[in-house]
């Protein structure tokens, strides 16, 4: 019992000063649950070593449990099983749209799963305009998947998100802003229970 109380006090000390008490309460609740809190959907070649990694690290420092494939999975894990379990278990999905996002079957499949699972989606438009994300010309998929992907892209396109220009934007600011939105979204999801 003393160890758990001590751990919670340490967590509270580590939380940024700008968080209000209700954010802290959500963090207390979500950190005790077995699944990931936030699924980060991204095109690795565009964002794995930049936006996705920075966001993962920031959320992890806030004691949330983000899922980022190359950080969360370990050798021997089944790719589809791990990703599907993480999407089913998450409360919020952050979708980092980038110039080559729509070329990836896996990105589109994950986005479709998030939409079909009715997860709250927070789009980040990274070096791309929302109007540019619906081009599926380069994706090799079945007609059924094409329809799923198109529907998910339209839904995401018309969801308010963050825009970021990597050549001129402030990285710290966009990651902090995204994390704040994730925390507020988790609070909303927790409040619906």
CATH number at residue 47: 3.40.50.10140
- 18 located within any domain: no
- 154 located within any domain: yes
- 80 located within any domain: yes
Neighbours of 76 (CB within 10 A): 5
Domain that holds residue 135: 33-192
Spatial distance between the Cα atoms of 188 and 182, rounded to a whole number of angstroms: 10
Task: pLDDT tens for the chain, 193 residues: list them.
Answer: 343 334 334 333 444 444 444 444 454 444 444 479 999 999 988 887 789 999 999 999 999 999 998 888 888 888 889 999 999 999 999 999 999 898 899 999 999 999 999 999 999 999 998 888 877 777 788 999 999 999 999 999 899 999 999 999 999 999 999 999 999 999 998 887 6
Q: What is the pTM of this model?
A: 0.79
Neighbours of 80 (CB within 10 A): 9
Domain count, the chain: 1
- 68 located within any domain: yes
Q: Give the C-alpha distances (Å, rounded to integers) separating 172 from 58, 64, 84, 104, 117.
A: 10, 18, 30, 27, 30
Annotated active-site residue 110? The verdict is: yes
The answer to whether 23 and 12 have CB atoms below 8 angstroms apart is: no
- 147 located within any domain: yes
- 102 located within any domain: yes
Q: Catalytic one among 103, 110, 155, 188?
A: 110
- 22 located within any domain: no
Residue with tokens 């090799």: 140
- 170 located within any domain: yes
């Amino acid at each position: 019992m003393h160890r758990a109380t001590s751990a919670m006090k340490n967590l509270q000390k580590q939380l940024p000063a700008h968080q209000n008490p209700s954010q802290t309460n959500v963090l207390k609740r979500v950190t005790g649950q077995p699944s990931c809190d936030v699924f980060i959907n991204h095109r690795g070649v565009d964002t794995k070593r930049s936006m996705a990694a920075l966001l993962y690290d920031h959320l992890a420092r806030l004691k949330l449990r983000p899922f980022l494939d190359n950080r969360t999975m370990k050798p021997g894990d089944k790719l589809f099983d791990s990703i599907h379990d993480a999407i089913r278990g998450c409360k919020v999905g952050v979708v980092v749209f980038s110039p080559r996002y729509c070329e990836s079957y896996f990105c589109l499949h994950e986005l479709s799963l998030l939409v079909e699972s009715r997860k709250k989606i927070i789009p980040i438009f990274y070096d791309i305009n929302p109007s540019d994300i619906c081009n599926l010309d380069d994706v090799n998929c079945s007609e059924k998947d094409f329809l799923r992907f198109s529907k998910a892209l339209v839904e995401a396109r018309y969801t308010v998100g963050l825009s970021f220009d990597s050549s001129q934007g402030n990285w710290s600011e966009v990651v902090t802003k995204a994390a704040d939105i994730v925390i507020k979204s988790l609070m909303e999801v927790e409040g619906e229970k």
